Structure 1
Amino acid sequence: MKRLFLLSALMMMSVFQTNLNAQCPAYGWASESGGVTGGGSAIPTVVTTYAELRAAVNNANVKVIHVSGTITFGAGGRLTLNNQNGKSILGLAGARLISTDMSPTGSGILTLRNSSNILIKNITFEGPGAYDVDGNDNMTIDQCTRVWVDHCTFEDALDGNLDIKNASDLISITWTKFQYLKPPIPGGSGGSNDHRFSNLFGSGDDATQDDGKLRITMQNCWWADGVRERMPRVRFGQVHLLNNYFSSANNNYCIYAGFKANLLIEGNYFENVRNPIRLEAGKFTAAQLVDNIFTGVSGTMAGSGMAFTPPYTVNKIATQDVKQTVMAGAGAVLLQPTDCLFLATGEVASKIKSEAKVYPNPAKDQLSLKVFSNENNSPVQITVTDFTGKKEGVVYRGTLKKGDNTIDGISIKNLSKGVKLFEVKTNDNSYVQKVIVK
């Protein structure tokens, strides 16, 4: 059997690329004031049970936690990471935390309180379903600074999927998916029979400690099935909503600009939703819309005012590319917690044998692929598709010698922007290199 291994992809020109084995850099508001490094390169503590997870969360000397497998919380099992600085909770592939508690006090999965420089990544947080008893959220960020939540999935929370409050500041939520897959449970003491309200930033108009805080970036996130409201609902905060995808049909509204909310709503894709923007008359500060796409929507979709200018560098993708890019990459989908991004569908995920690279796309840029063959005169063909399988053509045909081979001069100048899969084929074998062309 002929075998061909794609080992790496290198640029011939000097251009930016993302090294996925290094510490992934935070972006958005969480990149300010030193950024978020979490526990850095500390030796991970791997946890597989609730008792192990609880001990690791509570131990300030444990800087990096790797969550392995599914951990189900018992009654009253909500965990609180309190008064800590510099910590990472990272999911290995498939990591899932589940709460079945439906009580007002014992519900919820994780609260971050009075802590800083915290990284949460690649974990699915699953609640028991929406039941309005004024319970706890799947995750609450309370009086924290410099927190980065990346590539997580939040679903079926009793209360909010992910809420941020109490003067928390410099927060980024990236590549994260919010959804409700379980039907809402009526009859709760809170009064709502359908409390699938995903994200509340700022707990009340009287929470004056939030004034000047709640600086939050939400980028490349996806509000998917079942979300009714709060995508997010904001008070006080300077919130940058960039390159997100909204597709939760039969919702009430998406983004809510509440008391003193200052929102920059930029490059988002709204599809088949109702009331993309809701403004609290006479109370919000700004809800500025820039380069958004609205397709199949109904109701209100107008902004108002000039929002804040972000102090950080914005890495923005074209709005027309947001839907396919976010659907491919949002959620707890990383193969390993050191990855910075994962942009491939399930059909090709099993083929990925190397890291993704990000390339700018001026006409001069060329790709060099280094491959190994165990057979002389091995025929090879390299084709390019996007993540949906749409073909963009053959970029190389030839033969390989036995051992290492470097195929130079593969032009990327004619490729469309977005996620590309360079597939190297010999007869019955196929290996894929992920490439993101910007």
Structure 2
Amino acid sequence: MRRTSARSQMGRTLAVATAVAAIAGLTAWQGAAAEQAPPALAAGSPEGYGAGTTGGAGGPTVTVSDADAFIDAAASDGPLQIRVSGTIQLDDMEKVTSDKTIVGTGTSGAITGGGLNVSKADNVIIQNLRFTGADDDAINVQYSTHVWIDHNDISDAYDGACDVKRASDSVTISWNHFHDQDKNALLGHSDDNGSEDRGKLHVSYHHNWFDATTQRNPRVRFGNPVHVYNNYYNDNSGYGVASTEDAGVLVEGNYFENVEDPYHLGEADSGPGSLVARNNQLVNSGPGQTGGSVSTPSYSYRLDSAANVKSIVRAGAGVGHI
């Protein structure tokens, strides 16, 4: 899926050598202090279906500041913690393998032009990064489990901002600021993919800011239950949440402001799923459409009062708040 890079082989060799040297140095340090693991790069821990995701914790940490070093680190074998310094210009969607933590430094870590493809992977964390101008999806998760996408700023992707599909499971998407985006968060590949997706696609969306994102916040197929709670929605001109194709979505404790269609059943040619809505705050917004029953989430969680969600999310979502 990666296009051939125009960068020089010399530059690529230097970037790889730098990353390898950093790993070697940390490996030596580990040998000298075998009883002490490297500190975890990611801040906090996931709540919801992605709970227990640790990414590259326990592995070495490398800092990358150019595309070649980033691509090699993200696709490498074994646990690795990747610190992104400055802006990484990608030409395509780049693969992220199992046991990886990818975190932006301060407020400067950014990925532009391309996106991240978490495919056939387990145990991945993506945190505190700005994604802009992806030529496909900003983040795509497929055939993957135990993924935590947290405190990112995501905008202006050509296709989806953050899509989860093709039998993926045990995912939490939290505290992200989505904006300047039409098709935002797809959950479930297509209407004819039920053989792969039924019994999977358990995803928690919480404390995200869906900031004038037009539609798919999220649009759900087959997953049951999918838990959408304590998010702030404002000025979503298409719709907020859509439950389709046998999905079961619990929409709980969210704050909807200026959203004519906060949630509904079915979408386009997709048949209706089930949707239960409770304890939401609807401000200058439509009543929403509900129907059917939804399984209870299989985890404990703390629910903020919907009346406070707008201020909580605006103060804490996005880059620089971890």
**8 A Cα contact 1:45 1:62, kept in partner:** no
CA distance in 1 between counterparts of 2:56 and 2:81 reads: 5
2:248 equivalent among 245, 253, 262: 262
Counterpart position of 1:97: 111
Counterpart position of 1:432: none
Counterpart position of 1:63: 80
- What's the CA shift for 1:320? 0.8
Counterpart position of 2:67: 50
> Counting helix residues as a fraction of each chain, which structure ranks higher?
2
**8 A Cα contact 2:79 2:99, kept in partner:** no
**8 A Cα contact 2:255 2:281, kept in partner:** yes
- What's the CA shift for 1:78? 2.2
CA distance in 2 between counterparts of 1:231 and 1:153 reads: 15
Instruction: Report whether the alignment pairs 1:120 with 2:135.
Output: no
CA distance in 2 between counterparts of 1:22 and 1:138 reads: 20
**8 A Cα contact 1:23 1:40, kept in partner:** no
**8 A Cα contact 2:232 2:256, kept in partner:** yes
Counterpart position of 2:141: 141
Counterpart position of 1:240: 227
1:25 equivalent among 25, 41, 45: 45
**8 A Cα contact 2:244 2:274, kept in partner:** no
1:319 equivalent among 291, 298, 306: 306
Task: Return structure 1 stretches of 4+ with deviation > 4 angstroms.
Answer: 20-23
**8 A Cα contact 1:268 1:322, kept in partner:** yes
CA distance in 1 between counterparts of 2:88 and 2:63 reads: 12
Counterpart position of 1:79: 94
CA distance in 1 between counterparts of 2:78 and 2:165 reads: 26
Percent of pairs identical after alignment?
Answer: 32
**8 A Cα contact 1:152 1:332, kept in partner:** yes
3-state SS of the aligned residue for 1:136?
coil
3-state SS of the aligned residue for 2:70?
helix
Deviations 1:332-376 (A, max 9, x none): 223xxxxxx4xxxxxxxxxxxxxxxxxxxxxxxxxxxxxxxxxxx
- What's the CA shift for 1:64? 0.5
CA distance in 2 between counterparts of 1:206 and 1:73 reads: 32
CA distance in 1 between counterparts of 2:90 and 2:167 reads: 28
Deviations 1:273-332 (A, max 9, x none): 12011211894342000100100114x513122211111111111111100000011112
CA distance in 1 between counterparts of 2:42 and 2:132 reads: 29
Counterpart position of 2:214: 228
Counterpart position of 2:22: none
The alignment of Structure 1 onto Structure 2 pairs a total of residues equal to 278
3-state SS of the aligned residue for 1:320?
helix
Counterpart position of 2:23: none
Aligned AA for 1:97? I
Counterpart position of 1:286: 274
State the TM-score, normalized to the length of structure 2.
Answer: 0.82
**8 A Cα contact 1:38 1:88, kept in partner:** yes
- What's the CA shift for 1:248? 2.8
CA distance in 2 between counterparts of 1:312 and 1:61 reads: 29
3-state SS of the aligned residue for 2:71?
helix
**8 A Cα contact 1:23 1:37, kept in partner:** no
- What's the CA shift for 1:22? 8.7
The structure with the largest alpha-carbon Rg is: 1
Counterpart position of 1:429: none
Aligned AA for 2:105? L
3-state SS of the aligned residue for 1:323?
helix
Counterpart position of 1:163: 163
- What's the CA shift for 1:62? 5.4
Q: Which runs of 5+ in 2 are unaligned?
A: 1-39
